[in-house]
Amino acid sequence: MLDNQDEGSSPTVFGITCAFSDIGLVFDLNFIFGWGLFRVSDIRCRHSSVITTHAIYRGIFSGSEISLFWNAPEFSEWALGERKTGGGLFSGEDEVAPKLLFLKNPKKIHALLTIDPELSQKEMLILRQKILKTTFVLNIIQLPWLSIRGRENLLFEPIKNKS
């Protein structure tokens, strides 16, 4: 599990700002690092009365579990059923649930990259420098795991080795 608080360790978490879509970013990271990230079942996150559906990519590389969570949701819905606008019975205007970002601060984070077990400071520096050399990654910052509100949405089952 990514939330290893019982064992006292947390994953390494990076926030990535990029000019790619999720597919483009994953392709680029797979190409540069040879990670082999693949899309798994979308993840549903609850934000008070709104449930959002986000793309998630996972893989194993050199004993580390790597997950890339796309911050912008593909779909959202009201947790308490449909809400109607005040347009009247025949207006046909349904109020669509907003596509809330999971991570609002810091701003402009397009993806969360998590690596478990935690990387050393030297490994984090090398990874950060290598990712910043890609053409379409604009910024990458390290985020403390415990600072992510709603991180309970990011608890993933361990990946089973394909054999």
Question: Which pLDDT does position 158 carry in this prediction?
Answer: 67
Is there a domain that residue 136 lies in?
yes
Is there a domain that residue 110 lies in?
yes
Per-residue pLDDT at 39 exceeds 90:
yes
> Which residues touch 122 (CB under 8 Å, ≥6 apart)?
none
Per-residue pLDDT at 81 exceeds 70:
no
Domain count, the chain: 1
Determine whether 1 is exposed, middle or buried from the number of CB atoms within 10 Å of its CB (0-12, 13-18, 19+): middle
Percentage of the chain modeled with pLDDT above 70: 80
Average the pLDDT over 119-142 and give the result. 88
Is there a domain that residue 160 lies in?
no
Question: Which pLDDT does position 112 carry in this prediction?
Answer: 93
Separation of alpha carbons 45 and 39, rounded Å: 17
Q: What is the band of 4 on the pLDDT scale with cuts at 50, 70, 90? A: very low
Domain of residue 142, residue span: 5-154
Q: DSSP class of residue 138?
A: E
